[in-house]
């Protein structure tokens, strides 16, 4: 208990709270950056923070966070303005516009910092930490600014949520409505810049874009709507902070900020692997299940040929066709599969009995196959010797509804183009 109290009051708690708030703010605002496909813009703004810090120190000779943050805030806003001006004035593509502003502002920032370093001030003041970040150096005194910025950003998102979502989805439509949306736009930009500015000291100008885009990217794969995406990306961001701080407390020489961002990137990777519907595993699973279904249907088709060969109602006798090409091992595999599926019963002495269920399944797949053959021949004039291969592909995707429509269209036929019977549908 004593340790817990110490933690709450001590510098470690400040580090945890500061980083967690920055990550949450980045995740929430970043959700809209990702939805608007503006991740690169957040990166440009982060780089434009660096010259602001240089200017602020040069002019004020103070190293307090609020002073440096003000300078950073102003240059980042100027960079956002510059991107907008270039959009209207110059004929550049979006990536070139962003590249120009990023390179120019970051270059200027490094020039200023090296200038200060030549006066041997930057090292003392610790200005370089804004480049690479020093998550473990968040102090109790910094907390009020971080809390205020994050709280205001979250409040803004809560108020303007419906507009922010709609603008990200269809900005053109929204602009035709009688609404003063420029205020929402300004508020959003200010929130992005403000979180960048307070976050830069922790994660660094080079990496903070990771806090904006990675948690929403991971969350998006798991959810269907934007509120879920917000909750998901907050969870991912907090998870990354816990992993990052935990690792760096145990490995003292590892920088915390990069570990946080790497952890978030890892969660994007994990989401791509494990997410439902979109994840790699889900897709492999779906593919595997389709393959298995095809295999199952082919096995039942072989069963039907066995029934057909042994004659009408008789469900006994050797099941596989003598001309089956899968070899002896393949034939055994098919028999075992059909047995596992409950389609056939072992009666001893090389005799199998087809169950009712097995008969129904076997009839269904052959019925679909032959209906499709007939459909192709009748309505598209495909020659009878060509329809088999086409039907091999289509038989697996025909649904009961389509099957019924085919039956009606073909007036419940009794024979396929090869003159073989089409097994009717049994009730019960």
Where does this chain bind another protein (CB under 8 A)? 35, 91, 159-160, 162-163, 165-166, 168-170, 172-181, 183-184, 220, 223-226, 228-229
Which residues partner with 354 through β-bridges?
344
The minimum distance between CB 169 and another protein, in angstroms, equals: 5
Please state, in angstroms and rounded to a whole number, the distance separating the CA atoms of residues 113 and 121: 9
The minimum distance between CB 179 and another protein, in angstroms, equals: 6
Please state, in angstroms and rounded to a whole number, the distance separating the CA atoms of residues 218 and 409: 48
The minimum distance between CB 149 and another protein, in angstroms, equals: 21
- Give the Cβ contact number of residue 25 at 10 Å: 29
* Maximum Cα–Cα distance across the chain: 100
With respect to another protein, which residue has the nearer C-beta, 64 or 84?
A: 84
Please state, in angstroms and rounded to a whole number, the distance separating the CA atoms of residues 344 and 204: 67
Please state, in angstroms and rounded to a whole number, the distance separating the CA atoms of residues 378 and 356: 32
With respect to another protein, which residue has the nearer C-beta, 221 or 422?
A: 221
Please state, in angstroms and rounded to a whole number, the distance separating the CA atoms of residues 92 and 95: 8
The minimum distance between CB 187 and another protein, in angstroms, equals: 11
With respect to another protein, which residue has the nearer C-beta, 90 or 332?
A: 90
The minimum distance between CB 192 and another protein, in angstroms, equals: 19
The minimum distance between CB 166 and another protein, in angstroms, equals: 5
Please list, residue by residue across 96-127, b when 16 or more beta carbons sit within 10 angstroms of its beta carbon and e when fewer do: ebbebbbebbbebbeebbeebeeeebbeebeb
With respect to another protein, which residue has the nearer C-beta, 182 or 427?
A: 182
With respect to another protein, which residue has the nearer C-beta, 223 or 282?
A: 223
With respect to another protein, which residue has the nearer C-beta, 160 or 241?
A: 160
- Distance spanning both ends of the chain, measured CA to CA: 68
């Amino acid at each position: 208990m004593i340790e817990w109290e110490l933690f709450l009051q001590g510098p470690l708690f400040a580090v945890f709270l500061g980083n967690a708030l920055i990550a949450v703010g980045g995740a929430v605002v970043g959700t809209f950056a990702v939805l608007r496909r503006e991740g690169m813009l957040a990166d440009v703004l982060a780089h434009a923070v660096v010259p602001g810090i240089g200017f602020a120190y040069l002019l004020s000779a103070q190293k307090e966070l609020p002073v440096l943050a003000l300078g950073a805030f102003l240059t980042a806003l100027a960079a956002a303005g510059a991107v907008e001006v270039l959009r209207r004035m110059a004929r550049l593509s979006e990536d070139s516009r962003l590249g120009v502003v990023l390179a120019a502002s970051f270059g200027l920032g490094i020039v200023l910092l090296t200038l200060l370093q030549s006066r041997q001030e930057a090292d003392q003041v610790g200005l370089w930490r804004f480049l690479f970040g020093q998550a473990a150096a968040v102090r109790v005194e910094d907390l009020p600014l971080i809390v205020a910025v994050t709280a205001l950003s979250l409040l803004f998102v809560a108020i303007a949520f419906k507009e922010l979502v709609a603008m990200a989805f269809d900005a053109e439509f929204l602009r035709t409505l009688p609404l003063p949306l420029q205020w929402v736009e300004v508020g959003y930009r200010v929130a992005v810049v403000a979180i960048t500015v307070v976050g830069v000291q922790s994660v660094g100008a080079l990496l903070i874009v990771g806090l904006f885009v990675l948690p929403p990217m991971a969350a998006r794969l798991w959810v269907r709507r934007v509120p879920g995406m917000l909750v998901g990306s907050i969870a991912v961001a907090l998870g990354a902070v816990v992993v990052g701080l935990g690792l760096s407390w145990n490995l003292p020489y590892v920088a915390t900020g990069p570990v946080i961002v790497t952890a978030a990137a890892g969660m994007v990777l994990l989401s791509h692997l494990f997410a439902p519907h979109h994840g790699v595993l889900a897709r492999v699973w779906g593919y595997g299940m389709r393959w298995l279904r095809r295999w199952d249907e082919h096995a039942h088709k072989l069963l039907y040929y066995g029934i057909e060969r042994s004659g009408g109602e008789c469900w006994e006798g050797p099941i596989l066709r003598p001309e089956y090409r899968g070899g002896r091992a393949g034939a055994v595999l098919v028999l075992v599969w059909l047995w596992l599926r409950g389609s056939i019963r072992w009666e001893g002495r090389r005799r199998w009995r087809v169950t009712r269920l097995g008969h129904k399944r076997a009839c269904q797949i052959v019925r679909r196959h032959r209906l499709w053959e007939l459909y192709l021949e009748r309505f598209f004039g495909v020659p009878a010797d060509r329809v088999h291969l086409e039907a091999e592909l289509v038989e697996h995707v025909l649904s009961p509804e389509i099957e019924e429509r085919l039956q009606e269209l073909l007036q419940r036929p009794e024979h396929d183009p090869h003159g073989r019977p089409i097994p009717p549908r049994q009730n019960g």
